């Protein structure tokens, strides 16, 4: 078993046109920048991106929007200051957006990684984000049905990995990483350092190796 | 002439609502001022929905850690005893009814307690909702902290929200530069007037039925 790729480019080279790609991070924190940049370099097109934000400046998801590689975005807060390449791609009509409350986005991913088809949440009930969705009153409270999200690929940023793919995150860069790592058919993680098995104590593993398919070391 | 509270004084007033040991989530904008106003003898765990429970003050210049940011993506610090959670757990904490208080900015609040704070209709682009809807349905106490009038002088306290809702019937208390107000089935109930604000001025600054609690 060898999960380790020589480079970010080698790790992402098989991502196909039309893939659903889960990209971890909150703002620019915890975003697997090197993997995203390598994906931009592959030229893969017609991607569906699931991410909290839509990139800022010239880095991260901004590159995919700049290259017009994204046809659909599922996000909670895409309209962040600095998301100029996303704004331009959206204004040009090349990308559709599904706006999802942040907690619903996280829970839809958790459901996707857990074999759960969907769930009823009070978030969004009686708002325009519930339009067209099934609603139900349970014990006197209104709920909205939300479907699980599953990805073809997840791009993950870890602080440390071992060679089997056990991952540890650092501080608030953890954010969407653990739920996305579980919600894709193929999970690719970049890590600042890759160590031998046992160097991460079992109690300290945040994402177990069984969820990780590929690894690449990216010096921090 | 209305005097009322400055932004800082509003923040100090809100901070008096927090009992020792409670958890608080502060929205982006005015509510972030509250973090610096909590009395030292009161221990409050500040939650940031990107995954921090136990957020501390701003870092000293040069001491920023790029992996510690708040919901506005600004560098912050962690207090001793803080914990980090992933996104799904962070929102389980909110939606599961464990978060004691959230203080949110508001575009409009209705007399039924409906909150509108995420999108201005007709605005350009797709907007962004972030964690606002989860906080509004999940926290035990949902406070709105806001200027009472918009830039054109119209009241943001209205009979019915014209802006898209964040959540219906969720706001439990409103703090503005003019005072402290609650919503009670179609009526705004003024609990407290800021210094120098008259009942008449308060009445004129609310676009819905008003009652004063004496």
| Structure tokens that stand for B190 in this block | 């003024």
Judge if pTM exceeds 0.90.
Answer: yes
Contact between chains at A179 and B50 (C-beta distance less than 8 A): no
The rounded mean pLDDT for chain A is 97
Q: What would the pLDDT profile of B82-113 be if each residue is shown by its tens digit? A: 999 999 999 999 999 999 999 999 999 999 99
**Global ipTM:** 0.96
Q: Is A110 on the interface with B (CB under 8 A)?
A: yes
- Cα R_g (chain A), whole angstroms: 17
SS3 labels along A75-106: ECCCCCCCCHHHHHHHHCCCCEEEECCHHHHH
The residue whose two tokens read 């919503």 is B183
Residue B168 is nearest to which of A105, A126, A170, comparing CB atoms? A126
Given a cut of 90, is residue B214 above it in pLDDT? Answer: no
Percentage of residues of chain A with pLDDT beyond 70: 100
Given a cut of 80, is residue B123 above it in pLDDT? Answer: no
pLDDT recorded at residue A220:
61
Q: What would the pLDDT profile of A14-55 be if each residue is shown by its tens digit? A: 999 999 999 999 999 999 999 999 999 999 999 999 999 999
- Residue B134 phi, psi dihedral angles, 5° rounding: -65, -45
**Domains of chain A listed by start with CATH number:** 8-118+149-217 (3.40.1080.10)
Q: What would the pLDDT profile of A136-168 be if each residue is shown by its tens digit? A: 999 999 999 999 999 999 999 999 999 999 999
Contact between chains at B95 and A172 (C-beta distance less than 8 A): no
Q: What would the pLDDT profile of B133-162 be if each residue is shown by its tens digit? A: 999 999 999 999 999 999 999 999 999 999
pLDDT recorded at residue B2:
55
Contact between chains at A79 and B133 (C-beta distance less than 8 A): no
Give the integer Cα–Cα distance in Å for B31 and B7.
9
- Mean pLDDT along residues A80-92: 94
pLDDT recorded at residue B78:
96
Give the integer Cα–Cα distance in Å for A82 and A92.
17
**pLDDT band at B126; cut points 50, 70, 90:** confident
Contact between chains at A29 and B128 (C-beta distance less than 8 A): no
| Structure tokens that stand for A80 in this block | 């962040």
Give the integer Cα–Cα distance in Å for B181 and B176.
8
CA–CA min distance A77, chain B (Å): 4
Q: Is B168 on the interface with A (CB under 8 A)?
A: yes
Give the integer Cα–Cα distance in Å for A58 and A47.
19
Q: What would the pLDDT profile of A104-138 be if each residue is shown by its tens digit? A: 999 999 999 999 999 999 999 999 999 999 999 99
Give the integer Cα–Cα distance in Å for A54 and A65.
8
pLDDT recorded at residue B207:
98
Q: Which of B9, B49, B177, B187 is catalytic?
A: B49
CA–CA min distance A107, chain B (Å): 6
**Chain B CB contacts of A28 below 8 Å:** 73
Per-residue DSSP letter, A20: E
Q: Is B130 on the interface with A (CB under 8 A)?
A: yes
**Domains of chain B listed by start with CATH number:** 7-212 (3.40.1080.10)
């Amino acid at each position: 078993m060898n999960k380790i790729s020589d480079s970010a480019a080698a790790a992402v080279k098989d991502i196909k046109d039309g893939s659903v790609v889960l990209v971890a991070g909150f703002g620019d924190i915890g975003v697997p920048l090197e993997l995203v940049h390598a994906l931009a370099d592959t030229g893969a097109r017609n991607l569906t991106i699931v991410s909290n934000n839509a990139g800022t400046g010239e880095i991260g998801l901004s590159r995919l929007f700049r290259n017009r590689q994204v046809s659909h975005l599922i996000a909670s807060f895409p309209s962040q200051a600095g998301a100029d390449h996303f704004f331009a791609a959206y204004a040009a009509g090349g990308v559709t957006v599904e706006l999802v409350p942040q907690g619903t986005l996280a829970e839809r991913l958790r459901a996707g990684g857990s074999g759960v088809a969907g769930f009823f949440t009070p978030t969004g009930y009686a708002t325009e984000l519930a339009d067209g969705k099934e609603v139900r009153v349970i014990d006197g409270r209104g709920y909205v049905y939300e479907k699980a999200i599953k990805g073809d690929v997840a791009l993950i940023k870890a602080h440390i990995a071992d060679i089997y793919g056990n991952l540890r995150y650092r501080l608030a860069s953890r954010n969407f990483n653990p739920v996305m790592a579980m919600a894709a058919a193929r999970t690719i993680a970049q890590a600042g350092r890759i160590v031998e098995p046992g160097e991460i104590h079992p109690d300290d593993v945040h994402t177990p190796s069984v969820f990780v398919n590929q690894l690449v070391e990216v010096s921090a | 002439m209305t005097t009322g509270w400055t932004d800082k004084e509003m923040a100090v007033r809100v901070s008096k609502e927090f009992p020792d040991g409670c958890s608080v989530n502060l929205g982006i904008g005015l509510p972030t001022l509250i973090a610096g106003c909590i009395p030292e003898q009161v221990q409050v765990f500040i939650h940031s929905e990107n995954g921090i429970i136990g957020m501390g003050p701003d870092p000293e210049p040069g001491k920023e850690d790029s992996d510690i940011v708040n919901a506005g993506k600004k560098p912050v610090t962690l207090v001793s005893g803080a914990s980090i959670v992933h996104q799904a757990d962070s929102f389980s904490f909110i939606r599961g009814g464990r978060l004691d208080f959230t203080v949110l900015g508001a575009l409009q609040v209705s007399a039924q307690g409906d909150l509108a704070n995420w999108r201005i209709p007709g605005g350009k682009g797709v907007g962004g909702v972030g964690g606002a809807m989860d906080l509004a349905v999940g926290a035990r106490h949902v406070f709105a902290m806001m200027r009472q009038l918009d830039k054109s002088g119209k009241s943001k306290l209205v009979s019915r929200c014209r802006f898209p809702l964040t959540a219906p019937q969720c706001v439990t208390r409103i703090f503005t530069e003019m005072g402290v107000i609650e919503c009670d089935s179609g009526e705004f109930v003024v609990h407290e007037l800021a210094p120098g604000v008259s009942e008449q001025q308060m009445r004129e600054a609310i676009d819905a039925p008003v009652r004063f609690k004496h």
